[in-house]
Amino acid sequence: MRISAILPTRHRPALTQEAVESVLSQSRPPDEVIVVDDGSADGTAHALARFGKDLTIIRQEHAGVSAARNAGIRAARGEWIAFLDSDDLWLPGKLRGQEDALTRPENADYRVAYTNEKWIRDGTQRNQGHRHAKHTGWIYVRCLPLCIISPSSVIMRRDVFDEVGLFDEELPACEDYDMWLRLSARFPVLYLPEKLVVKRAGDWPRLSAAHSLDRYRILALRKALDSEWLPAEHRSPTMEMLREKVRVYALGCRKHGRDDEAVWAEARLG
């Protein structure tokens, strides 16, 4: 397996440095490490310079995390692509564990694998809720309520993108939710229960805190229903989830005097 690691970042010099160190410290290092700097105007470039030739650095004007990941995918030379968000970390056995699992004969049909993760908020470990339970196999319906796959935990064959497309650059948030819907409708996904990723949250800016996530989940669900790739057996549960997301979102909007936004959401039911 030839593995390319892709790390998008913006305005996170210290976190990005720690993330890169976790990639380079893998017991099975990636064959290339691509960092996409999405328009940083702080010390990110200086923080990355210390790694020298260990990194391929792509710099672009600020265009969002989807555009950054897509730039990395286009530049990658590996047969397999692994992602790491700049505020997360890989534990040393992450890539080795996934490579070992994917090269077992019984897993020959899998083109995507993800792992369990540790959650750290403000330096304290947090437990995952039951709704975040992860699964293996054909998991599309389990991906409908929320994003159970962390981008930082995924490794996937690059030819998967030929069938599902790249990350949607029109979505400022929930772009991963949209991607996993498109992917899990077409491919089974292998889950490794080992906690091989550390997901961190703190006082730095995060997309999940800057946007109303259900708004963009509604857009992703509507997009799935309007597509040709969604199998017939998945249309009913997708529509049921869209109705529930719209109900909850519209209720919250009206509670806070945002009636126009509630009407917008309800119109997505078509």
Question: Given this model, what pLDDT does residue 130 score?
Answer: 80
What tokens does 232 get? 């017939």
96 and 48 in one domain? yes
Quickly list DSSP for 4-28. Answer: EEEEEESS-HHHHHHHHHHHHT-SS
Question: Given this model, what pLDDT does residue 207 score?
Answer: 52
Question: Given this model, what pLDDT does residue 242 score?
Answer: 98
Contact 169, 93 (CB under 8 A): no
The alpha helices in the chain, defined as continuous H runs, are: 13-24, 44-49, 65-75, 94-102, 140-143, 160-164, 175-184, 207-210, 213-225, 232-255, 259-267
226-248: b (≥16 Cβ within 10 Å) or e: eeeebeeebeeebbebbeebbee
Question: Given this model, what pLDDT does residue 270 score?
Answer: 83
Question: Given this model, what pLDDT does residue 210 score?
Answer: 42
187 and 112 in one domain? yes
Question: Given this model, what pLDDT does residue 131 score?
Answer: 84
What tokens does 85 get? 């968000």
Q: Which residues of the chain have pLDDT under 70?
A: 202-211
The residue among 170, 204, 238 that closes a domain is: 204
The residue among 176, 204, 232 that closes a domain is: 204
* CATH code for position 43: 3.90.550.10
21 and 149 in one domain? yes
Q: Are strands 88-90 and 190-201 parallel, antiparallel or unpaired?
A: antiparallel
Q: Quote the number of domains for the chain.
A: 2
Residue 169: closest CA among 33, 8, 17: 8
Domain encompassing residue 124 = 3-204
Question: Given this model, what pLDDT does residue 43 score?
Answer: 86
